[in-house]
Amino acid sequence: MTQQDAGRSSSEPIVGADDWIDDIVRRSGYQEAEVRGALAVESITPPTGWSTARHSLAVRGVHFAGIKQFRDGTAAPFSFAKAIQPGVTGFGTQDENDAGKSSLLHIILWAVRGRTDLQDDVRQWLRGVLVEVTVNGEPMAVVFGVHNRRPRGKVLLLAPDADLPWEDLSHLSHRLVKEAFEASGDAPTAVPDLLEQLCEALRPHVRHELASFSSGKDLERVMDGIMSPRLGFEAIPSWGARRDGDRIDDADGALGVQGWPTWSGALLISDPSVKVVLGEELYAAVRLLQVYLGSPWAPVAATAQAFGRHLENRISVLNRQVKQARTAHTASLEQLQREIADIDRILAGLPVLADPEQIRLLVDALQRTATVYAHANDAWLQSSQAYGETSRLLESTEADVAALLEAAHTRRFWHALKPTCCPRCETDVLPERWAAEKTGRCSLCDSDLQLEPDHEPETKPLSQEELRRLLTDNSELDLDSLDDLSQARLAVLQLTDAVKSQASDMDSAKAERDVAYAALSAARSALAEVDTLAAEQRRLLELSRAQLAGQLSERSGARISDFADQVTALTRRLKIVQAAETASVTRRKEDQDELLAQVNDRLTFIGQHLGVRQLTRAELDGGAHMKITKGGTTTPFSRVNDGERLRLKIAVVAALLRVGLEAGVTRHPGLLILDSIGREEAKPADVASMIKELIQLTEDIPGLQVILTSAHGRYLHETLDAAHTYVVEPGNTLW
């Protein structure tokens, strides 16, 4: 089960829709419980209802501005704005092509659909766009700035009575674009304030913001989220086959989603040479027809079809994996067996491994001797440290003894001297000063010499023998009774004895450490004599053999069996999904056959009035194919000329709207955009006739709005009033 299946499999089996489920059970041949569970896994559910509410979409105005670059390398700011009325509105030039007509319509569609086929150079020129639309009568504005072809803006819900000042907005944008251009002198310059200024100008007319966007994909997502629920559309899964050059087999493709960007394809007729009866894309024509005919079973059938193709693709992938597994099995099975046999021979020739109990005893001995050695080494280190500290203290004390002796000798020397004059100023020492020295005062500085009158110390230092007797005497020593030199000599004797004792301890600890190290070395040697290389070699060989055995087992059928089980389960589910598709298509066809017959009657009638000469019958089938009978001959839609193809495309949309309104199932929102009508006409005067018929259609079909462009501006003037016409002077472009 794939990750996608895992996510779906938690769905509860489908409840209800008994007649539809019974039909699927009968067609698939499986039990009802399995059918309901499989449909739930694939998210294929019956319709719960169908709204018959009429939904409408109309454009109320368009404004855009930017900096246009000309062929000669010059550039100039531009700004265009036009309020668009209900009915038929025409934008035209006087026999000028490549004059901005198609760009105008694609700018409108960019805002309405969220995606655009606008040429890159025009997108590069644009700096700001504002399109006002009404959805079910509710006005909203799509406004965005453009920089480097990337849109950023907002969708604003407007007040019901909003009346946007299109001319003022155009003047505002032109001023901002012109100022930015003149300040930089660079055609690609940005106009960062334009979006904010447009929003500020709209603020009195805005109720609140619906959404914001910052890229083309973002705009498409936003418009899908706004338009689809309001216009009664839903996202439907779709299956897209890969291109021939990239396709592995007929089942290769990918799941996608069809939403508002697809359904809005029926709003535009831009190129009559495209041989599709509805919309501009061949792959979407059938789906558009099914959706716009208004059967609640159309989305169910489409979902079943998409997930059925997805299951076919997964089954195809699994079958390829089965084939690859079998090929690998056939090609390498004997090689794997030979490699396993070679390993077995090597394993048989390896020496016998040592007794595990013997190895355990050796390891225990190694651990035990290592512990003993560690303790002995710690003891030696501690005794060495103590010996070193005591030795350093002994050296320091011996230095103190030497210093005291030196000080005593120095004092005697200096006191024996008889200065005759001051060493600084050479003043003679008077006899009375010498007399004072006999009393213990210095003859020069009068300081206390701290000596007895006879210059002899009160006590004499003890000899070495006397100090040794003091140490051996059991009575307590009175150190304060000893002079400094005797105290220092006594400390030397004590430290000398301590150093000798610690040296003896250190030698004993070193001897114990050496014994422990010898035992550790012997334990290591005993363990090293055991042959561990053969054990490691055996371990690696056994690991390789296990891996080869696993590959042999897989290629001998285990993996193939797993694939085959998945294929069986998915094939059963595919059969149920295909039965669900057939049952849904049957119900969709029952809903739509009668409507399709009515559409064909209307289609023929409208085609005749739009000027398809000698047309006696236009027959549209459920596969979006059309047969045309005229002049006693039946021909496919793809073989009529461009002028007739344009008229028939218009007739298809008008017929779907008319019949849908009468039956209460219309899905088309009533907006039709026609690009450059008349370019395919042999007689330009026929443009006026077609426009008149379009005006009649908008009067016959409530809510139908047509926006068109043409290079035959004079015929627009002849057929449309000033409020519905925007035609430039001869030689000028549209904007």
Asked if the model's pLDDT at residue 558 lies above 60, the reply is: no
CA distance 651 to 697: 10
Work out the percent of the chain whose per-residue pLDDT is above 90: 38
pLDDT of residue 478: 63
pLDDT of residue 5: 45
Identify the residue whose tokens are 């000599």: 489
CA distance 212 to 284: 29
Please compute the mean of the pLDDT values over residues 140-153 and round it to a whole number. Answer: 95
Asked if the model's pLDDT at residue 636 lies above 50, the reply is: yes
At 10, the pLDDT band (50, 70, 90 cuts) reads very low
Work out the percent of the chain whose per-residue pLDDT is above 70: 84
pLDDT of residue 533: 66
Which of 294, 297, 296, 289 is closest to 624 using CA atoms?
289
Please compute the mean of the pLDDT values over residues 663-677 and round it to a whole number. Answer: 86
Between 68 and 322, residue with greater pLDDT: 68
Please compute the mean of the pLDDT values over residues 564-575 and round it to a whole number. Answer: 90
Sheet holding 626-630, edge to edge: 615-620, 626-630, 633-636
Asked if the model's pLDDT at residue 455 lies above 80, the reply is: no
Residue 80, strand partner residues: 64
Asked if the model's pLDDT at residue 2 lies above 60, the reply is: no
Which of 584, 566, 576 is closest to 40 using CA atoms?
576
Mean confidence (pLDDT) of the chain: 84
Which of 138, 88, 235 is closest to 715 using CA atoms?
88
Please compute the mean of the pLDDT values over residues 590-612 and round it to a whole number. Answer: 90
Kindly report, residue by residue over 229-261, the tens digit of the pLDDT: 999 888 888 887 766 666 666 667 788 888 899
At 208, the pLDDT band (50, 70, 90 cuts) reads very high
Please give the DSSP secondary-structure letter assigned to residue 429.
P
Helix or strand or coil: residue 207?
A: strand
Between 200 and 441, residue with greater pLDDT: 200
Which secondary-structure segment (H or E) carries 141?
strand 138-147
Identify the residue whose tokens are 């008349």: 678
Long-range contacts of 566-570 (CB under 8 A, 24+ apart): 566/318, 567/315, 567/318, 567/319, 567/322, 570/311, 570/314, 570/315, 570/318
pTM exceeding the 0.85 threshold for the entire prediction: no
Backbone angles phi, psi at 113, to 5 degrees: -90, -30
**Residues contacting 600, CB < 8 A, separation 6+:** 617, 618, 619, 620, 655
pLDDT of residue 303: 92
136's torsion region: left (phi>0), alpha (psi -120 to 50) or beta?
Answer: left
Please compute the mean of the pLDDT values over residues 276-297 and round it to a whole number. Answer: 84
Asked if the model's pLDDT at residue 317 lies above 90, the reply is: no
pLDDT of residue 414: 61
Asked if the model's pLDDT at residue 26 lies above 80, the reply is: yes
pLDDT of residue 4: 41
334 close to 551: Cβ distance less than 8 angstroms: no
Please compute the mean of the pLDDT values over residues 702-723 and round it to a whole number. Answer: 92
- Cα–Cα separations (whole angstroms), residue 57 to 21, 86, 90, 383, 708: 37, 11, 18, 101, 16
- Cα–Cα separations (whole angstroms), residue 510 to 243, 500, 514, 522, 672: 86, 16, 6, 18, 106
Which of 250, 244, 236, 256 is closest to 313 using CA atoms?
250
Residue 712, strand partner residues: 94
Between 697 and 454, residue with greater pLDDT: 697
Please compute the mean of the pLDDT values over residues 192-201 and round it to a whole number. Answer: 94
pLDDT of residue 454: 45
**Residues contacting 632, CB < 8 A, separation 6+:** 616
Residue 254, strand partner residues: 240
Helix or strand or coil: residue 283?
A: helix
Asked if the model's pLDDT at residue 370 lies above 80, the reply is: yes
pLDDT of residue 463: 67
Asked if the model's pLDDT at residue 554 lies above 80, the reply is: no
Kindly report, residue by residue over 402-422, the tens digit of the pLDDT: 887 777 667 666 665 667 777
Kindly report, residue by residue over 514-534, the tens digit of the pLDDT: 998 999 888 888 877 766 566
Helix or strand or coil: residue 617?
A: strand
At 643, the pLDDT band (50, 70, 90 cuts) reads confident
At 436, the pLDDT band (50, 70, 90 cuts) reads low
